[in-house]
Amino acid sequence: MANAYEKGETVRITGTFTVNAVATDPTTVTLKVQTPAGVETSYTYALGEVTKSATGVYYKDVNLNASGYWYYTWIGTGAVVSADEDYLFVKPSEF
């Protein structure tokens, strides 16, 4: 599985926003992350919880502290209206 990680790893989740294949900054950027237990947390660029690395490219480092499927979605509004959902898997651990 390509998106499989060990429990306790920190991964960088990256979102890229484009308009007509040109990197563009949305007016607002939000990342929603859902843990395997179903707990959802929202992070925004406006509050400094998400980092901008280049025009249209944002990231958040997330600690994977539970085994199971983690879901996340990047949401852009305003100048770029977009939503992109994906997931990753944290392998079961005896520890």
Helix/strand/coil (H/E/C) assignment for every residue in the chain: CCCEECCCCEEEEEEECEECCEECCCCEEEEEEECCCCCEEEEECCCCCCEEEECCEEEEEEECCCCEEEEEEEEEECCCCEEEEEEEEECCCCC
> pLDDT band at 95, cuts 50/70/90?
confident
| Res 14: pLDDT | 97
The class of domain 12-90 in CATH terms is: mainly beta
One-letter amino acid for residue 51 of the chain: T
Q: Which pTM does this prediction carry? A: 0.92
Q: Which has the closest alpha carbon to 37: 57, 66, 15?
A: 66
> How long a stretch of residues is the chain?
95
User: pLDDT tens, 35-90?
Assistant: 999 999 999 999 999 999 999 999 999 999 999 999 999 999 999 999 999 999 99
